[in-house]
Amino acid sequence: MPVASRLPQIALRAALAAGLSLFASLAGALTVVPYSPAALAAAQKAGQPVVLHFHAGWCPTCKAQDKVFETLKSDPSVDVTLMQADYDTEKALEREMKITSQSTLVVFHGATERTRVVGETDPATLKALLKRAL
């Protein structure tokens, strides 16, 4: 079948995928976004649950954490924003927050730090940690 005749089907599938993605975000679940000072400030000012993940692409522990977070993106009980801060470039933020290792997770509800952990990869423990932000 020529591509031109399949365009309506392709467009419909794309629209359905976008709609499902929107529905998932409205239902609430883990959202993973890049860190930015403005995004963190806005989330904290709004009193939202947010977790900073000091992440390095070369870090095997961070990769293991990423796999767990990927599974939690569809879990409505974990309605939290996880911001990935690049461990190799966010040196001022690391100094300010006294971060000494990649794979560190800092849990906030608004501007209040609730807890932090380094190197944790157990799925149940990570889920419970994220829920501490709620």
Work out the pLDDT band at 28, boundaries 50, 70, 90.
confident
Q: For the chain, what is the largest distance between any 2 Cα atoms, rounded to a whole number of angstroms?
A: 59
The string of pLDDT tens digits covering residues 33-57 is 999 999 999 999 999 999 999 999 9
Asked if the model's pLDDT at residue 108 lies above 50, the reply is yes
Query: What are the phi and psi torsion angles at 114 (to 5°)?
Result: -100, -40
Q: How many CB atoms lie within 10 A of CB 78?
A: 25
Asked if 7 and 15 touch (Cβ cutoff 8 Å), the reply is: no
- To which residue do tokens 């629209």 refer? 15
Query: What are the phi and psi torsion angles at 101 (to 5°)?
Result: -150, 145
Q: How far apart are CA 34 and CA 83, in angstroms?
A: 5
Give the whole-number percent of the chain exceeding pLDDT 70. 80
Work out the pLDDT band at 27, boundaries 50, 70, 90.
low
Give the chain's mean pLDDT: 86
End-to-end CA distance of the chain: 50
How confident is the model over 66-78, as a mean pLDDT?
A: 96
If residue 118 lies in a helix (H) or strand (E), which one and from where to where?
A: strand 112-118
Asked if the model's pLDDT at residue 18 lies above 70, the reply is no
Asked if the model's pLDDT at residue 2 lies above 70, the reply is no
Asked if the model's pLDDT at residue 20 lies above 50, the reply is no
For residue 6, what pLDDT is reported? 42
